[in-house]
Amino acid sequence: MSDWMVTRSPLPRRRSRALSPLREHLRDTFWFAPTAAMVGVFVVWLVAQELDAALVRSLQDGGDFDTLAELLRFADDAKTVVSAVGSAMMTFIGVVFSISLVAVQMASGQFTPRVVRLFVRSRITKATFAVFLATFVLTLLVLTSYDSTPDPRAATSVPLVQSVLTLLMVALSLLLFVLYVNGTLRLMRISHVIARIAAESFRAAALMPAPADDAADGEADGLGPVTAWVAHEGRAGVLRDVGIARLVRVARGHGVVLRLVPRIGDFLVPGTPVLAVHGGAAPPRRALRYTLSVGVERTFHQDLAFGLRQLSDIGLRALSPAVNDPTTAVQALDRVVQILAALSRRPLDAVVHRDRRGAARLVQPVPGWTELVDLGFAEVRGCAVGAPQVSRRLLAGLDDLLLLAPPDRREPLLRHRELLRQAVERGTPAPADRAFALLPDRQGIG
């Protein structure tokens, strides 16, 4: 057993859930939460309307018409408030939507277009829009419940519970608006954006199954010959994720082992082989339906390299002549080093998904250690010449990873360190400047 297999990874382990792709797809949409909120508030309004009707019937049956007349006067006063809330809520929604568009535009231009999905996935943003729309719908429904007759004996409904519910929704809307502004301002700050990207990367890594024993690392190489191929027949696009639980069930039911050919994040065109079958015939097409999700962009779900891709993009944009912000590049490198340090002792290249009996049923390719190191450092290293803050942080990060990585994973780190040294020596003529740029510093320059 190699020495890096002995050390446990600091990343938490958890099993992949069958509905996790659906949950992630819903999180990447903006329509689901507001739609669910409007449907939910309609159901709540029906219940509140029935409570108000029951209250009126109870007072009429008991002959308490004076109390009912007082409630009618209160309802008339509350109707003015509800009408004002209904007319102002759409203006409020427009203001919030404008703030979101400005925030998304600024973040896309300053960081990278791929961070826009952080705003789309923001829970506080979705909750704010959902509650605002639900409040507006509720005010319209409540206005239809007001009775035009002032006679308590002929009244059929006094929207008392509905009016109180509307006021509570208004209070909740104001609270969420404050939280929304605070959350939006946080997402416009680069440190919080980078931290969110790192957190999503760790979540994707935590979904990778741990090897069950010493032979797990080589099990992907002992599958035997390919007995069948399954080609992609859907639309062209990026492979976003796969239904791991369903593929495992299909492979177990047909007594085969499936091997995913492309990696998560690869672009697929119709006819591309996507699954290699080992040990039997290919499962029928209907069994494999909805197991592969293809979209227009990559997502964090099951994509181990997407976080490093975004961090590298942020670092590159920060080092461009138009921006010239090496401090942001250093912050991106901090998280690159953090992610690589957590993955330095993890089995990579391929993960094996097993059925309940422990038999391998699905082999999924993932980026190897060398590919992850190149993704995190290669492009930023090419722009580090002339930015001593970045070169010093790069050297410090590579030195830290050399201490953490096992011996068989140090080669790409040493290669990047040597290439950086050569580039700085070629691009910095003054010996004192070269010595300063090649001095490792975890803060860059401070």
Q: Which pair of structure tokens corresponds to residue 319?
A: 């080092």
Confidence tier at 334 by pLDDT (50, 70, 90): very high
Name the 3-class secondary structure at 273. Answer: strand
Average per-residue pLDDT for the chain: 83
pLDDT tens digits for range 138-174: 998 888 877 666 666 666 677 888 888 988 999 999 8
Q: How confident is the model at residue 402 (pLDDT cuts 50, 70, 90)?
A: very high
Q: What are phi and psi of 275, to 5 degrees?
A: -135, 130
**Amino acid type, 151:** D
Q: How far is 121 from 329, CA to CA, in rounded Å? A: 24
The set of residues, in sequence order, having a beta carbon less than 8 Å from that of 44 and lying 6+ positions away, is 138, 165
Determine if the pTM surpasses 0.85: no
What is residue 18's predicted lDDT score, i.e. its pLDDT?
41
- pLDDT, tens digit, 9 for 90 and up, residues 414-435: 999 999 999 999 988 899 999 9
Cα gap 138→142, rounded to integer Å: 6
Closest CA to 143 of 70, 71, 74, 86: 86
- Coil, strand or helix: which one is 12? coil
Bridge partner residues of 294 (DSSP): 239
Q: Which amino acid is at 358?
A: G
pLDDT over 90 at 107, yes or no: no
Strands of the sheet with 267-268, listed across from one edge:
267-268, 237-242, 292-295
